[in-house]
RNA sequence: GCUCCAGUGGCGGAAUCGGUAGACGCGUCGGACUUAAAAUCCGAUCGGGGCUCAACCUCGGUGCCAGUUCAAGUCUGGCCUGGAGCACCA
């Protein structure tokens, strides 16, 4: 065995061997229990970054650990390869997005292999390949048949820089998630998926996800935004055309209904013209035109002063008989609730600000039980806390929580309202006016209208005869061959849908395809999907907390309802890894603080990179990259290598089981114990929340313990060699999921058969994993005063005696009264004195 | 504004159930080996006080203030700071 550690040499060799022998192929049929470990698949942007390295290393270690524990592990990889960057790159360099994507996939595949990841490459998928997007289109058709895909004219988010519409989830702070430019509203006819049909079950089933962090679950719950309240319909008294009509409002505060002093409709409210008097028409039209011009970001800014104009008409409050005026104001949102708000300025901060500005009346209807609030005209803000009702007729004196129910019940009985559950979640807009995506498989017939493309005509291929240099429209529209087609129903002329699907559709089902990646007859075989899914451990970035993870949950539920699979949640356990930072901020090209994985592989090897990326922080927390830390990990691997290499002649792989009492020498017994403690600790640390940072500290502790043991030996007898072999081979096995190449090389150099990665995980003996003597901690009044080495088997009474007979304790308790003594078995004695 | 997460040495972080705070590493300092360097190895490293120094002794210490308990980094209540998500959602 070579004395020196040459990672570059070793790593290339084993990567080749693993590839040639198909070391990581996963059979579908196996007697072993299944385990599905999955990393979020990458977008082929060009090169791996450290975030990828962290993500894939974490999942790889989990996959290898589970395999060693006897599972049949599915650990696949693929490419989320449709999307705008490819198209933009193509436009910039005059190339083709496909070429650009293929080149990136090739390069990044090479890098993934250099990292020593145990993927089953036979299951690789790329969402931009026709053999994949054929099935994306097929799934769209299933959703269409089920009534879950529909087209409608709506105000949608438009990103001018990307030249396409965006889903609500892709608008962050009023800006495009990808290019950060300000999003505008446009009225367009677009395709939507009815995710709102699943709002309730998506929310409820979060409770089933015990293996997800609360942060992600609350983010999803907030996004779905369920609230309970009531719809009230207020009759209009003076509509200019004399029509009898109602204005319905949604409120979560039915208890404040007696305090209404005006009503607001959104500028885009559908009946606004009917509710405007001729005298107010000009001002209202002007206000609406202004609102239309405003960007979303301005419109939604909470600190912008409230504005509005009166419509001139009035409603009657059926609870009080009072009349109140109608206004339009842009703080009412047309997409939420009914698009109209009952305004109770005394008990809502927004209404309060608006009423103050326009001198609208204030009427108190809730006050704290124990004090008076005074005239609302003197308040600085609305009173929004709970209390008892006043000025509310028959409901006076009732606490406001009970009043919510009682008042709504009265409205139901009298026929002008009902209970209502409201969600903030909107339907998922999936049309994109871009080229590099899966075409929406729909045609528009001059006679028959919208027609889905028949399944046997799939895939609808992306045209290749397009001009990528066009500005202001999708390149797909430049294809001379794509647009015109025939109607599948009447055979007459039809035009194809020119929009492609949001790439998040492609990534909403890829984890299903891995179960049956090469199937060219079906999307996936139902039995195979039911066997492998749900994913046992999903690992990826927190940035997908809402987008990808919510969409995938929706897809799984929808496909279950289409009869394609039998489970209702795709990801049983979710690990959201933290970001990789350098000098305290996120690695990014613009900040110039990136570290190139290639350089690390070249200078230190993949094993060092893997070890380091796991070592310094728990996986869920942000990780601060440090060059000194890499160096430290490299030194540690050298230290491990030296330990094995210098002892190679004394190590046998054929180790009989060593039981308690088999060894004669105390130091050998101690080393044996340390090995068992390490096995137990490392196994538990990986099993509980994947605490790889402490796993690695335990590698170091065991390595230190073996070096310490060795420093006391000048020659080795048979017992020494036995215990040394056990210690070193255990260390190698424990490290094999992380230092995948080093341990494989050492295994072979020591004469091992096959691969260390096919060996069983180490087992520990509970009796050997604890020491025979313990440190008895003696406290006085809860403060540690002495530590005594005692035999483990001591009774509580004996522990107490030992403690009290300690010289230190005697001197500190002298002259004081012992009030009480608490004995914690095998741990400590606390003496309470006065 | 609402929701969630976090706060421990110079730094990253450790500490099943409430039971020895600071494992392991990085950095720093000191030493060994060497002609020298690299590599490697050994030792020290929370703060205050006592002792000529050291061993040792002692007090304080996990963002802040209270509380529960024999005992609190850990539990409860209230704050402060940082991060993330949502946000004129009625």
Output the distance from A138 CA to B5 C1' rounded to whole Å. Answer: 40
For residues A143 and A558, is the Cβ–Cβ distance under 8 A?
yes
Instruction: Give ∠ CA A515-A516-A518 in degrees, rounded to 5.
Output: 145
Residue A828's SS3 state is strand
Query: Cα(A548)–Cα(A537) distance, rounded to whole angstroms?
Result: 16
Strand B reaches within 7 A of the A787 CB: yes
Q: Is the peptide bond before A716 cis (omega within 30 degrees of 0)?
A: no
DSSP symbol at A206:
G
Interface confidence, given as ipTM, is 0.93
- A 342-361: CB within 7 Å of strand B: 342, 348, 350
DSSP summary character for residue A693: H
Is residue A389 within 8 A of residue A400, CB to CB? The reply is: yes
Q: What is the pLDDT of residue A352?
A: 93
Q: How many CB atoms lie within 10 A of CB A785?
A: 18
- pLDDT at residue number A772: 67
**Residue A825, φ and ψ in degrees, nearest 5:** -50, 135
Q: Is the peptide bond before A534 cis (omega within 30 degrees of 0)?
A: yes
Cα–Cα distance for residue pair A10/A14, rounded to 1 Å: 6
CA A619 – C1' B15 distance (Å)?
18
CB of A789 under 7 A from strand B? no
Compute the distance between CA of residue A616 and CA of residue A627 in angstroms, rounded to an integer. 12
- What backbone torsions phi and psi does residue A4 show, to the nearest 5 degrees? -100, 155
Q: Is A303 exposed, middle or buried (0-12, 13-18, 19+ CB in 10 A)?
A: exposed
* Tokens of residue A225, six digits: 């935004």
* Average pLDDT, 10 consecutive residues per value, chain A (834 residues): 89 95 93 96 93 95 96 97 88 86 96 96 97 98 97 86 85 82 83 95 91 88 92 95 94 95 94 95 93 72 84 96 95 91 94 93 90 88 89 93 93 94 92 94 94 96 91 88 95 95 96 97 97 96 89 96 96 92 77 86 94 92 88 94 93 90 89 94 92 94 93 89 95 97 96 94 89 80 84 82 82 80 86 84
What Rg do the C-alpha atoms of chain A give, in angstroms?
A: 34
Helix, coil or strand: residue A221? helix
CA dihedral (A371, A372, A373, A375) in degrees, to 10, reads 180
Q: Which of A79, A76, A140, A143 is nearest to A106 (CA)?
A: A79
Task: Assess contact for A282 and A364: CB atoms under 8 A.
Answer: no
CA of A388 to C1' of B63 (A): 39
d(CA A701, CA A697): 6
Residue A280 CA to B90 C1' — how many Å?
25
Structure tokens, A355: 């009423």
A333 contact to strand B (CB, 7 A limit): yes
Angle, vertex CA A171, rays to CA A170 and CA A175, nearest 5: 130
pTM of the model: 0.92
C-alpha pair distances (Å), A593 with each of A92, A586, A621: 25, 8, 19
Query: What are A723's two structure tokens?
Result: 């215990």
Chain B footprint bases within 7 A of protein beta carbons: 3-5, 11-16, 19-21, 23-27, 39-42, 57-60, 70-72, 83-90
Give the residue with minimal CA–C1' separation from B2. A222
Q: Specify the pLDDT at position A325.
A: 96
Instruction: Report residues 527-546 of A contacting strand B, contact meaning Cβ closer than 7 Å.
Output: 542, 545-546
CA separation (Å) from A326 to A178, A292, A315, A676? 40, 20, 7, 77
Please state, as a whole number, how many other Cβ atoms lie within 10 Å of the Cβ of residue A478: 17
Q: Is the CB of A771 under 7 A from strand B?
A: no
């Amino acid at each position: 065995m070579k004395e020196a550690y040459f990672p570059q040499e070793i790593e290339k060799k084993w990567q080749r061997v693993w590839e040639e022998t198909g070391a990581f192929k996963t059979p579908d049929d196996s007697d072993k229990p299944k385990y599905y470990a999955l990393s979020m698949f990458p977008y082929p942007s060009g090169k791996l970054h450290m975030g990828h390295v962290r993500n894939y290393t974490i999942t790889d270690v989990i996959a290898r650990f589970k395999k060693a524990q006897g599972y049949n592990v599915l650990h696949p990889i693929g490419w989320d390869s449709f999307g705008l960057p490819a198209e933009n790159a193509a436009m910039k360099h005059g190339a083709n997005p496909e070429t650009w994507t293929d080149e990136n996939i090739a390069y990044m595949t090479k890098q993934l292999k250099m990292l020593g990841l145990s993927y089953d490459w036979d299951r690789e998928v790329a969402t931009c390949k026709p053999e994949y997007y054929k099935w994306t289109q097929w799934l769209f058709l299933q959703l269409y048949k089920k009534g879950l895909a529909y087209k409608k004219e709506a105000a949608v988010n438009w990103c001018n820089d990307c030249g396409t519409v965006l889903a609500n989830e892709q608008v962050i702070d009023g800006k495009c998630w990808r290019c950060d430019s300000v999003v505008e509203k446009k009225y367009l006819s677009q395709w939507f998926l009815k995710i709102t049909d699943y709002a309730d079950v998506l929310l409820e089933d979060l409770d089933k996800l015990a293996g997800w962090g609360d942060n992600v679950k609350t983010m999803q719950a907030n996004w779905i935004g369920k609230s309970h309240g009531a719809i009230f319909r207020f009759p209009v008294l003076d509509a200019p055309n004399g029509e009898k009509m109602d204005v319905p409002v949604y409120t979560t505060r039915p208890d404040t209904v007696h305090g209404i002093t005006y009503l607001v409709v959104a500028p885009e409210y559908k009946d606004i013209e009917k509710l405007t008097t001729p005298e107010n028409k000009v001002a209202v039209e002007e206000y609406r035109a202004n609102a239309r011009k405003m960007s979303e970001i301005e419109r939604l800014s909470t600190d912008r002063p409230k504005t509005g104009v009166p419509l001139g008409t009035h409603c009657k409050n059926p609870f009080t008989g009072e009349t109140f005026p109608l206004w339009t104001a842009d703080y009412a949102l047309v997409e939420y609730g009914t698009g109209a708000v009952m305004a109770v300025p005394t008990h809502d901060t927004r209404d309060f600000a608006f009423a103050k500005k326009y001198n609208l009346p204030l009427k108190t209807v809730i006050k704290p039980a124990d004090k008076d609030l005074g005239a609302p005209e003197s308040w600085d803000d609305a009173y929004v806390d709970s209390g008892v009702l006043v000025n509310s007729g028959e409901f006076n004196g009732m606490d406001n929580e009970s009043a919510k129910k009682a008042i709504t019940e009265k409205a139901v009985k009298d026929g002008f309202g009902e209970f209502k559950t409201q969600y903030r979640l909107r339907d998922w807009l999936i049309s994109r006016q871009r080229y590099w995506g899966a075409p929406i498989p729909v045609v528009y017939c001059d006679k028959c209208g919208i027609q889905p493309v028949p399944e046997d005509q799939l895939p609808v291929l992306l045209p290749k005869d397009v001009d990528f240099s066009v500005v202001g429209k999708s390149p797909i529209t430049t294809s001379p061959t794509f647009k015109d087609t025939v109607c599948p129903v009447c055979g007459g002329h039809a035009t194809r849908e020119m929009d492609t699907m949001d790439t998040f559709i492609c990534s909403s089902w890829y984890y299903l395809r891995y179960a049956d990646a090469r199937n060219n007859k079906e999307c996936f075989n139902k039995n195979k999907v039911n066997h492998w899914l749900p994913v046992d451990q999903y690992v990826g970035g927190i940035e997908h907390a809402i987008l990808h993870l919510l969409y995938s949950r929706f897809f799984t539920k929808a496909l279950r309802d289409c009869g394609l699979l039998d489970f209702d949640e795709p990801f049983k356990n979710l690990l959201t890894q933290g970001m990789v930072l350098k000098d305290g901020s996120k690695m990014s090209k613009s900040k110039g603080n990136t570290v190139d994985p290639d350089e690390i592989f070249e200078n230190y090897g993949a094993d060092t990179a893997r070890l380091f990326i796991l070592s310094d922080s728990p996986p869920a927390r942000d990780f601060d990259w440090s060059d000194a830390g890499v160096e430290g990990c490299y030194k540690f691997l050298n230290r491990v290598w030296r330990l094995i290499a210098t002892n190679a002649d004394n190590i046998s792989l054929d180790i009989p089981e060593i039981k308690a009492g088999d060894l004669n020498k105390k130091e050998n017994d101690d080393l044996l114990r340390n090995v068992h403690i390490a096995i137990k600790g490392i196994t538990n640390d990986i099993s509980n929340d994947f605490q790889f940072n402490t796993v690695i500290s335990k590698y170091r502790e065991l390595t230190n313990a073996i070096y310490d043991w060795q420093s006391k030996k000048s020659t080795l007898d048979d017992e020494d060699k036995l215990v040394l072999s056990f210690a070193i081979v255990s260390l190698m096995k424990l490290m094999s999921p992380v230092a995948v190449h080093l341990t494989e090389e050492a295994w072979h150099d020591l004469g091992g058969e096959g691969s260390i990665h096919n060996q069983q995980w180490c087992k520990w003996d509970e009796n050997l994993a604890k020491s025979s003597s313990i440190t008895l901690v003696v406290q006085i009044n809860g403060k540690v005063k002495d530590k005594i080495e005692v035999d483990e088997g001591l009774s509580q009474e004996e522990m107490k005696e030992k403690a009290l007979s300690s010289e230190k304790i005697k001197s500190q308790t002298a002259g004081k009264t012992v009030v009480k003594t608490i004995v914690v078995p095998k741990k400590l004695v606390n003496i309470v004195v006065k």
